[in-house]
Amino acid sequence: MTEINLRLKKKLNEVFSIEPNDLGIDFITFYFKKITAYFKTIPFVYVIPFIFLISLFLFLFLVFFLLIFLKFLHFGF
C-alpha cells in the first residue's frame, strides 16, 4: 500500500511542477495572467452571462434573417 502512495505522491509532484505560463511577449503574458486569474477563482460569474448574451444575440440575429427569408418565399411564390 505504501508503494502505491509513494507512486501517487510522485505523480502529484510531477503535475504540480508545471512551469508558469510565458507567452513570449511580456504585455500579452501580463494580460493573459490578469484574465485567467478570474477564471481560476470564479469562472461561472463571467462565463454564464457571456454565453447568455451570445445566445441571445444569435437568436435575434437568426430570427431576423429567418423572417426576411420567409417574406421572400411568401412574395416570391
Q: Please tell me whether the overall predicted TM-score, pTM, comes out greater than 0.75 for this model.
A: no
Cell of 42: 470564479
Q: What are the CB-based long-range contacts (under 8 Å, 24+) for 17-21?
A: none
State the pLDDT at residue 60.
Answer: 93
Per domain, the residue ranges of the chain are 22-76
Strands (E), 1-77: none
- pLDDT averages per 10-residue partition of the chain, 77 residues: 76 62 79 79 80 94 90 82
Tell me what pLDDT residue 76 has: 76
pLDDT, position 72: 87
At 53 the pLDDT is: 95
Q: What is the pLDDT of residue 16?
A: 54
